[in-house]
C-alpha cells in the first residue's frame, strides 16, 4: 500500500480529521493506495491560498518568469514520465504502453502554453469618441476549479492547467476519486519546479469535495471533464455565483467508412478508435457507420482483429487492452449489449465479460446490424464495444452520424478529397478526423457540440478561455464635460 497526501497552498498534509479512502487497482480489484478524503475546510483552505497567490506572488510573477517555470516543469515531467505512467496505469487500469506515451507527451503542453505566457496582450481601439485614448487589457479570469476524469487524469489536467498558468490564473484541482494518485504525484513535480505557493493545490475525495469547490464564491471559473449528467449539475452550480464554465463532456462518436476508403487504413483506425483505451475515452469511435457495399468485408476484418487483441495485465507491455475501471462498468455495458442482441443485433466478436481474467474485464466487442431504436446506438457505453450501422448514401451517413445528443468527435474514411471536405463541414462535432482517428495535440483546439459540452481546450483558443477583457478609457481633453450627457 502506498500513502498519499493532499497539496494545499504549498503544504503537504492529510485531510482535516485524518479521513482517507482506498484506491482500488482495477486489474486486481484490490486496494493499492491510501488517499486523503478532503473536507469542505480543506477546499476552503485551497481556494484561499489560490486567491492569495492570484492577488500576490503569482500576480507579481512576470509573464516571462511564468513561462520559465512552465518550461522547468516540462523538464521534470520528461525526467519522470515512466514513474508517472506506472502510477496511472495501476490506478485506472489503462495499459502501460498507452500511459507511457501520454506521460512522455505531457511536457509538450507546458512548453507550448509556456510560450504564450509573455505574448498575451490587449489592443488599442479607435473609438468613436473625440479626445479619448482607449485600449483593452487581458487579465486572468481568476481562481479556477478544475475537476478531472479518471481515464487520463494528468493529461486532462494539462488541457486545463497549462493554458490557465499561461493566462496567469491559479488552480485548485479535484481529480476523480477513482484515480487520484497520479495527480498527487504530479503536484510533487509542480512543487519541485519552483512555482509560488497556492498557484496549484490538489484536494481529493468524492462528489462532496467537487461540490464544495464548484460552489465556493471565490472560484471564478470551473473547468470540468466528465459525464454529461454531472457536467449539467456542475454548470448549474457554478452559474449560481456567476462563475465561468468550460465543460468537456460525453460523446457517441461516429467513425464513417465510405466505399472508396482504403480498408487497411480504415480497419486500423476503427480498432484504434475504440479498443486502444478499452473504449474508455469521451472521443471513442463507438459507432461504426459503413457503406453497405463494403460492410460485410469491413465488419469481418474488424471482428477478426478484435478477437486477437491481447487482454490482460495493464502493466505488461504485451497487453493491448486492460480492464475497465471496475465491475459496475462491466455490468452496465453488458446490459446494453444484451439488449441489442435481444432486439435482433448480432455479435461477430465478443459480447460478454471476460470473467476468467477478473471482474473488471469485458471482451473487445463488435455488435452488427444495429438499428437507430437500440440503446446501443445512442448511449455512451464507455467500453470496448462498436455498434455497426450501415448506410447507402452520403446523406444517410451524415444523418445517422448527427442523430445523437452528442457532438464531440467524428471520423471519416475516404479517398475522395471533395467528399472529405463536404462531409467534414456537415458533421456536427468539434473534432473531425479524415483517414485517422483519436489523434490529439496541444496545438489543435478541441471542443464539443450539443450535449458534449461548451468551451475549448488546447490550441491558442484555450488561453482565451482563462482570460477576461478590461476596457480602459483615458480622457485626453482639458475641457470639462457636461455631466448630464453620455458619450
**Catalytic residue IDs:** 248, 282
**Rounded to 5 degrees, what are φ and ψ at 473?**
-110, 120
Q: What whole-number distance in Å separates Cα of residue 350 and Cα of residue 361?
A: 12
Q: Is 413 helix (H, G, I), strand (E, B) or coil?
A: strand
Q: What is the DSSP string of 111-156?
A: HHHHTTTT-----EE--SSTTEEEEEEEEE--EEEEE--SSSHHHH
Cell of 292: 453497405
Q: In what order do the strands lie in the sheet with 20-25?
A: 2-3, 30-36, 20-25
Residues 6+ apart with CB under 8 A from 112: 162, 442, 443
Residues 6+ apart with CB under 8 A from 361: 311, 323, 324, 330, 353, 354, 355
Bridge-based pairing of strands 124-125 and 132-140 is antiparallel
* Integer CA distances (angstroms), 277 to 53, 88, 117, 152, 449, in order: 37, 13, 33, 10, 23
**Rounded to 5 degrees, what are φ and ψ at 463?**
-60, -40
User: Measured between alpha carbons, how far apart are the two ends of the chain, in Å?
Assistant: 68
CA 221 to chain CA mean position, Å: 16
Bridge-based pairing of strands 143-147 and 409-413 is unpaired
CB burial of residue 333 (10 Å; 0-12, 13-18, 19+):
buried
Bridge-based pairing of strands 446-447 and 456-457 is antiparallel
Cell of 171: 488552480
Amino acid at each position: 500500500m502506498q500513502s498519499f497526501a493532499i497539496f494545499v497552498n504549498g503544504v503537504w498534509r492529510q485531510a482535516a480529521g485524518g479521513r482517507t479512502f482506498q484506491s482500488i487497482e482495477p486489474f486486481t480489484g484490490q486496494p493499492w493506495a491510501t488517499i486523503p478524503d478532503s473536507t469542505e475546510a480543506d477546499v476552503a483552505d485551497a481556494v484561499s491560498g489560490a486567491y492569495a497567490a492570484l492577488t500576490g506572488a503569482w500576480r507579481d510573477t512576470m509573464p516571462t518568469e511564468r513561462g520559465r517555470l512552465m518550461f522547468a516543469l516540462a523538464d521534470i515531467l520528461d525526467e519522470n514520465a515512466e514513474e508517472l505512467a506506472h502510477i496511472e496505469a495501476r490506478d485506472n487500469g489503462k495499459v502501460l504502453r498507452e500511459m507511457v506515451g501520454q506521460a512522455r507527451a505531457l511536457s509538450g503542453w507546458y512548453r507550448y502554453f509556456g510560450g504564450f505566457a509573455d505574448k498575451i496582450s490587449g489592443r488599442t481601439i479607435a473609438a468613436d469618441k473625440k479626445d479619448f485614448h482607449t485600449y483593452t487589457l487581458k487579465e486572468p479570469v481568476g481562481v479556477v476549479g478544475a475537476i478531472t476524469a479518471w481515464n487520463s487524469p494528468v493529461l486532462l489536467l494539462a488541457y486545463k492547467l497549462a493554458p490557465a498558468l499561461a493566462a496567469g490564473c491559479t488552480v485548485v484541482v479535484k481529480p476523480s476519486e477513482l484515480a487520484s494518485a497520479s495527480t498527487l504525484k504530479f503536484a510533487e513535480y509542480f512543487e519541485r519546479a519552483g512555482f509560488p505557493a497556492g498557484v496549484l493545490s490538489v484536494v481529493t475525495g468524492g462528489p462532496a469535495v467537487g461540490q464544495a469547490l464548484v460552489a465556493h464564491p471565490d472560484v471564478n471559473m470551473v473547468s470540468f471533464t466528465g459525464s454529461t449528467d454531472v457536467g449539467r449539475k456542475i454548470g448549474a452550480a457554478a452559474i449560481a455565483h456567476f462563475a465561468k464554465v468550460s465543460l468537456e463532456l460525453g460523446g457517441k462518436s461516429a467513425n464513417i467508412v465510405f466505399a472508396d476508403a482504403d480498408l487497411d487504413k480504415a480497419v486500423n483506425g476503427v480498432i484504434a478508435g475504440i479498443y486502444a483505451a478499452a473504449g474508455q475515452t469521451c472521443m471513442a469511435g463507438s459507432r461504426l457507420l459503413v457503406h453497405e457495399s463494403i460492410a460485410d468485408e469491413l465488419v469481418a476484418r474488424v471482428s477478426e482483429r478484435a478477437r486477437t487483441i491481447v487482454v490482460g495485465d495493464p502493466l505488461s507491455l504485451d497487453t493491448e487492452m486492460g480492464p475497465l475501471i471496475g465491475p459496475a462498468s462491466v455490468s452496465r455495458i453488458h446490459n446494453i449489449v444484451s439488449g441489442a442482441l435481444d432486439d435482433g443485433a448480432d455479435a461477430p466478436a465478443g459480447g460478454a465479460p471476460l470473467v476468467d481474467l477478473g471482474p473488471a474485464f469485458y471482451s473487445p466487442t463488435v455488435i452488427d446490424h444495429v438499428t437507430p431504436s437500440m440503446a446501443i446506438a445512442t448511449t455512451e457505453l464507455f467500453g470496448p464495444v462498436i455498434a455497426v450501422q450501415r448506410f447507402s448514401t452520403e446523406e444517410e451517413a451524415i444523418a445517422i452520424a448527427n442523430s445523437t445528443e452528442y457532438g464531440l468527435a467524428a471520423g471519416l474514411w475516404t479517398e475522395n478529397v471533395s467528399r472529405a471536405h463536404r462531409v467534414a463541414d456537415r458533421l456536427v462535432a468539434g473534432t473531425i478526423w479524415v483517414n485517422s482517428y483519436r489523434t490529439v495535440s496541444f496545438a489543435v483546439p478541441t471542443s464539443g457540440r450539443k450535449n458534449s459540452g461548451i468551451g475549448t481546450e488546447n490550441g491558442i483558443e484555450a488561453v482565451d478561455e482563462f482570460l477576461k477583457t478590461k476596457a480602459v478609457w483615458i480622457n485626453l481633453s482639458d475641457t470639462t464635460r457636461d455631466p448630464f450627457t453620455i458619450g
